[in-house]
Amino acid sequence: MKLFQISLSDLFYLITTLGSCFGMWKFFEKFKIEGWWACIPGARLYWLGRCAEREADGKGAMVAELLLFPCALAANLLNPDLSFYPFIALMDLFFAITVLVYKARIIIDLCGDLKVSKHWAWLWVFFESIAALIWGFNDRFSPKSALTRYNGDDPLLPSELNKAFFEYSDETDDGLSVKIKDRTVRNFLDRRYLLRDIIMNIDPGHMVLLLGGSGAGKTTFINAVTGYEKANAEILLGGMNVYDEYDKMKYSIGFVPQLDLMRGNDTVYRTLADAALLRLPSTTTHTELNDRVNTILDQFGLLSVKHSLVEKLSGGQRKRLSIAMEYISDPYLFVLDEPDSGLDGVIARDLMRRLRKIADEGKIVIVITHTPDRVADLFDDLIVLAKDSRKTGRLAYYGSISDAKEFFGQDTMEGILRLINQKDEGGEGKSDEYVLKYAERRVASR
């Protein structure tokens, strides 16, 4: 007695399915995608779409294939005499055609990327297993770009250079030591890199300009350094680990966002006093708190308006008050996101001079500004973050302002930005070149 019986059609289906899996497994590996995704129905079509940079089509194909399975199973098992059978059969046909359409669109785009004839799409649609095996095991069907697109290896920096660049570290016990391996987020079925391989040491008394185009990771970098959003990183401030000792160190870090959250019907003094109550130790006496508030008001030129309502302040005064609220706790690291936004040149420069004085007191000040050239001379160092070809924030430079101009061959900060911004953002698209150049330079200077 036979325990089971397999028909020729079942055997053919099994062989073609295994062929598709093996072929797509090898093909995915060429794009640095885990090959086992090829064995998961639906997901393999999504990743095929990602290979062609057609994520939307990949998602559509995945959903259609997942819906096709129950419809096909029902159509095979149900009695054709049932009244709702035609509807099931129609749905089965609809999803099957949808999968084929999405797959054809993906393959046609892939043919363009791989520089092969678009006629391959016909083979993929009707004989997927044969096409997958050929594309998977034939080196002719490999990405032509120097960069592969997905997580895993980092093709921008050769493996030995990447290892040497990241392992080289001269941590400081006094200043800020940043060692970010990566910062990732989940994006549907895969990880997306926001930042990679950012290493630097900033000494006390330094005022640092943080430069980078849209999407280069400036905000992500700041959040990682201040401990607001943890990365795969080691951040040391004054020799203490920010992530491990965050509860103890959070008052040593001040962050001023671009937009303030102040009540317009409070006085300047009351606003700053409330901030002091939140940020100063609970053991602070009323006299000590009052003295600290008046000292900060004087430092930021607000003593003359201490009894004025916030809503009556000028733009420059309001901005100084928002900065004073964060500085009331006397932070060692002070980070500001566009503190001069909306201010004219004279007022903006006066504000930056005040920040320069804070740095001169032995603090570390990091500033993001979209008008860097009008205040660049007030900064000691420059951090340049660039969005590479894989849309990941990378370190393209860290060092002095004067050296940066020589490194990039530009006389202005705007010129540097234009050089590293992607072409679709009005730049020259040379971010990869300078990320690699800086990594090689850093390793060579060990």
Tens digits of residue pLDDT in 67-85: 888 887 777 776 676 666 7
CA-to-CA dists, residue 334 to 40, 170, 220, 289, angstroms: 49, 22, 16, 21
Across the range 231-257, mean pLDDT stands at 88
Q: Measure the CA–CA gap between 91 and 61, rounded to whole angstroms.
A: 15
Beta pairing, strands 393-400 & 381-387: antiparallel
Q: Measure the CA–CA gap between 206 and 359, rounded to whole angstroms.
A: 6
Q: Is the pLDDT of residue 173 over 90?
A: no
**pLDDT at residue 444 in the model:** 78
* DSSP per-residue codes, 201-234: EE-TT-EEEEEE-TTSSHHHHHHHHHTSS--EEE
Q: Provide CB contacts within 8 A for 46, sequence distance 6+.
A: 55, 58, 59, 61, 62, 188, 189
**pLDDT at residue 190 in the model:** 67
* DSSP per-residue codes, 116-151: --TTHHHHHHH-HHHHHHHHHH-TTSS--SSS--SS
Specify the pTM.
Answer: 0.73
DSSP label at 426?
T
CATH number belonging to domain 159-444: 3.40.50.300
Per-domain residue ranges of the chain:
8-137, 159-444
Q: Measure the CA–CA gap between 60 and 50, rounded to whole angstroms.
A: 12
Beta pairing, strands 176-187 & 190-202: antiparallel
DSSP label at 169?
-
**pLDDT at residue 156 in the model:** 67
